[in-house]
Amino acid sequence: MTEMYSSLTVIDGLVISKWSRAVFADMRKGGLTAANCTCSIWEGFADTMRNIALWKRWFADHADLITPVRVTTDIHRAKAEGKNWHHPRLQNTSALEDQVGYIPLFKELGVGVMQITYNTQNLAGSGCYERHDGGLSGFGYEVVAEMKPRRYSL
């Protein structure tokens, strides 16, 4: 890694890969600080949960190279420790099936980015390949409302 990258935070906003230790090491060597890593595209709930379980294992097995993040301080800690931070993401809301209540569960498991649709229509709305852009469905509006950050007071 060059000296320039030691002072930068370089983030890849969307990575799909056949994940392995070699890939994690190459990302680091290439100067990448962080990545939003796709753990679900068209998978339903059960298969997405299996993929998230794999990410949990990779975080444990490759803790010298990668670490999960949830808040900004985690990003700074990872950078200081010389680790790449990785953020599992859903590239489609198919994993929700028809359950808005799964959103907090995915968040609790470390999924912080969820793309509403991918190429084709799903329960939440139209994808970019659809001939007619129907926008969000009623379910899609519920999904967006549930995704909005909330401020809680104790």
Element of type H or E holding 47 = helix 45-61
Taking the model in full, what pTM does it have? 0.87
Q: Vertex 110, ends 29 and 78: CA angle to 5°?
A: 35
Assess contact for 54 and 36: CB atoms under 8 A: no
Q: What is the pLDDT along the chain (154 residues), one digit of tens a residue?
A: 567 777 888 889 889 999 999 999 999 888 888 898 999 999 999 999 999 999 999 999 999 999 998 888 888 888 888 898 888 899 999 999 999 999 999 999 999 899 999 899 999 999 999 999 999 999 999 999 999 876 655 5
